[in-house]
């Protein structure tokens, strides 16, 4: 059980863990995960019944254990206990046990993993989810597509060290703790990029002396001369002016090595907080990064899929068919997945318009413009990040 408020918040926020926590409290006893149409599943439908119990080790330690039953998967060992990962990036370990060792299995539930086509078929059957069922509906906008935000930087010849180096110095210079200041910091960064581009042009044309253009310190001074006075932006700066100048010199030096194409892509991506300030692990002093998302283009953790206007319309029709059933959800949550760089940022407005349009059409008496709440800390605000200017 959670020992303090911080652990309760972690249970509610941590990726996937919030679902386990909801099941562990008995809030939910059936979890249906519909895969997006662009994914490749081995089977269109899988159902697993999970039971959770307790077991004692030889050292009399009390541990949680799990047993699984399914008509769709053959488990070589149906019961396990899990050794939790102790460090970030470490995998948890599974240990097989006999069913009789897992006792007091009072908690249980069903997990269903379903393809989009199968979900539509089941919805039309009329018997999949009943009108009397109490449902939480969660829609993640990356159901429509998934892209690596940093891909244009790699395509333009940058590597991971280049990108992480820029991000490091951004985080040492700019510090914010709310979405309004986040936009202010990004505007400052945009002006810095333009000042670097202008100073490079002046160097290449010979309008600035060789001494200025070959000295990192002098080049930075020339860039800052085109910028607003730092006293007007001190509320978004991490350090005292002298320390910030040292970090700015490092950042400007790295930016000056970028090509014009690379600088344009960096401007499009911008800088943002690494996580929503509502997150329990948020720290203002580590907040700002190059807004590159969680996964690079070579990541094996996610399925990438670019989308377009026609495909977005098709996915919205699929979503409407899935939701046209007898039940009315008690609550609907929509996740943009834009800050972490999953949902394609350029297509996000069309995707969100499609999702909300479906909800209004399927639940006209419950979902209206007046009943939709937007988190005030959304990346880029209600209008979104890509078209922020």
Say whether pLDDT at 40 is over 80: no
* Residue 89 binned pLDDT confidence (cut-offs 50, 70, 90): low
**Radius of gyration, CA atoms only, the chain:** 25
- As a residue count, the chain comes to 389
pLDDT for 235-258, tens place per residue? Answer: 999 988 788 888 999 999 999 999
pLDDT in tens, 323-379: 999 999 999 999 999 999 999 999 999 999 999 999 999 999 999 999 999 999 999
Using 50, 70 and 90 to split pLDDT, how confident is the model at 8? confident
pLDDT band for position 58 (cuts 50, 70, 90): confident
User: β-strands 331-335, 136-140: how paired?
Assistant: parallel
Determine the pLDDT at residue 26: 81
The answer to whether the CB of 105 falls within 8 A of the CB of 52 is: yes
Give the mean pLDDT of 42-49: 93
pLDDT tens track for 271-285 = 999 999 988 778 888
| CA–CA dist 96, 67 (Å, integer) | 10
Say if residue 299's pLDDT is above 90: no
List, in order, residues 6 or more apart from 4 with CB less than 8 Å away.
none
Mean pLDDT of the chain: 91
Each residue of 175-211: pLDDT tens digit?
Answer: 999 999 999 999 999 999 999 999 999 999 988 888 8
Picking from 154, 116, 155, the residue whose alpha carbon sits closest to that of residue 38 is: 116
């Amino acid at each position: 059980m959670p020992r303090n408020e911080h652990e309760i918040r972690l249970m509610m926020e941590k990726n996937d863990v919030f679902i386990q926590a909801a099941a562990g409290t008995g809030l939910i006893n059936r979890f249906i995960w519909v895969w997006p149409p662009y994914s490749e599943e081995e089977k269109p439908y899988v159902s697993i019944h999970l039971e959770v119990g307790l077991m004692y080790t030889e050292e009399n330690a009390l541990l949680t254990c799990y047993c699984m039953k399914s008509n769709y998967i053959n488990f070589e060992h149906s019961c396990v206990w899990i050794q939790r990962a102790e460090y970030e990036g470490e995998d948890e370990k599974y240990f097989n046990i006999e069913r009789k060792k897992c006792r007091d299995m009072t908690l249980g539930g069903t997990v269903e993993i379903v393809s989009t086509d199968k979900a539509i078929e089941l919805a039309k059957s009329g018997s999949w989810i009943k009108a009397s069922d109490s449902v939480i509906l969660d829609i993640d906008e990356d159901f429509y597509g998934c892209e690596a935000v940093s891909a244009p930087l790699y395509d333009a010849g940058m590597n991971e060290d280049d990108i992480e180096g820029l991000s490091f110095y951004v985080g040492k210079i700019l510090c914010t703790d709310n979405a309004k200041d986040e936009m202010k910091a990004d505007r400052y960064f945009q002006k810095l990029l333009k000042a670097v581009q202008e100073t490079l042009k002046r160097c290449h044309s010979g309008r600035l002396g060789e001494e200025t253009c070959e000295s990192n310190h002098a080049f930075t001074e020339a860039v800052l001369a085109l910028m607003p006075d730092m006293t007007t932006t001190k509320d978004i700066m991490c350090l005292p002016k002298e320390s910030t100048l040292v970090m700015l010199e490092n950042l400007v030096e790295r930016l000056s090595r970028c090509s014009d194409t690379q600088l344009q892509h960096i401007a499009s991506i911008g800088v943002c907080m690494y996580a929503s300030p509502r997150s329990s692990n948020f720290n203002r002093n580590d907040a700002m990064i190059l807004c590159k998302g969680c996964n690079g283009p070579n990541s094996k953790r996610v399925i990438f899929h670019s989308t377009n206007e026609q495909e977005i319309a098709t996915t919205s029709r699929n979503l409407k068919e899935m939701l046209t059933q007898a039940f009315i959800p008690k609550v609907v949550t929509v996740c943009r997945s834009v800050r972490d760089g999953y949902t394609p940022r350029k297509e996000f407005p069309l995707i969100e318009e499609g999702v909300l349009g479906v909800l209004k059409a399927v639940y006209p008496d419950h979902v209206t413009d007046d009943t939709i709440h937007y988190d005030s800390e959304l990346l880029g605000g209600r209008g979104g990040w890509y078209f922020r200017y």
